[in-house]
């Protein structure tokens, strides 16, 4: 229901999201499909440049986006900000080697994040039962 009633669409896993207003320059790589609000940009690599590379490139330039943010009430970046930002791109073969090295790390981060969520859910389920005395752990070692 929420997605049908908003102006966003569902973005794929590994989409890069950068905040564009207010707290400009916060950057994340989505671990699952998600929507976002109008205060963000969703970015993706193109021309054989992976989202992982774009993500790391944006992180390296986050201070730049914060510095160039402008606006009357609070800082903001626009599409023009991205168009005017110059970066040096290595050859595609270097980017591909980078991807081969970095991909396992991002996959491990996703796996560990999912395990953390499961552990939090387990804690939230068990802790009230332990505190109320409905669950006893005596003799468990």
Residue 120's pLDDT is what?
A: 97
Please give the residue range of the domain that contains residue 123. Answer: 3-132
The secondary structure of residue 4, as a DSSP letter, is G
d(CA 52, CA 58): 10
Q: Give the number of domains in the chain.
A: 1
Bridge-based pairing of strands 27-29 and 16-19 is antiparallel
| CA–CA gap between residue 66 and residue 77 (Å, rounded) | 8
* Structure confidence at residue 128 (pLDDT): 92
Whether 140 is covered by a domain: the verdict is no
Say what the pLDDT of residue 140 is.
64
Residue 20 lies in a domain: yes
Whether 105 is in a domain gets the answer: yes
Please report, for the domain that includes residue 22, its CATH number: 3.90.220.20
Task: Enumerate residue ranges in the chain where pLDDT < 70.
Answer: 1-7, 71-73, 139-141
Look at residue 139 in the predicted model and tell me its pLDDT: 61
């Amino acid at each position: 229901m929420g997605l049908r009633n908003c102006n966003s669409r569902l973005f794929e896993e590994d989409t890069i999201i950068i905040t564009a207003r207010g707290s400009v320059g916060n950057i994340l790589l989505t671990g699952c499909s998600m929507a976002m609000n109008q205060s963000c940009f969703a970015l993706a690599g193109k021309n054989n440049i992976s989202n992982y590379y774009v993500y790391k490139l944006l992180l390296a330039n986050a201070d730049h986006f914060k510095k160039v943010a402008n606006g009357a009430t609070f800082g903001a970046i626009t599409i023009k900000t991205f168009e005017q930002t110059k970066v040096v791109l290595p050859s595609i073969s270097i980017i591909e080697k980078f991807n081969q090295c970095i991909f396992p790390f991002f996959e491990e981060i996703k796996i560990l994040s999912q395990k953390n969520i499961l552990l939090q859910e387990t804690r939230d389920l068990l802790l009230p039962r332990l505190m109320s005395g409905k669950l006893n752990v005596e003799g468990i070692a």
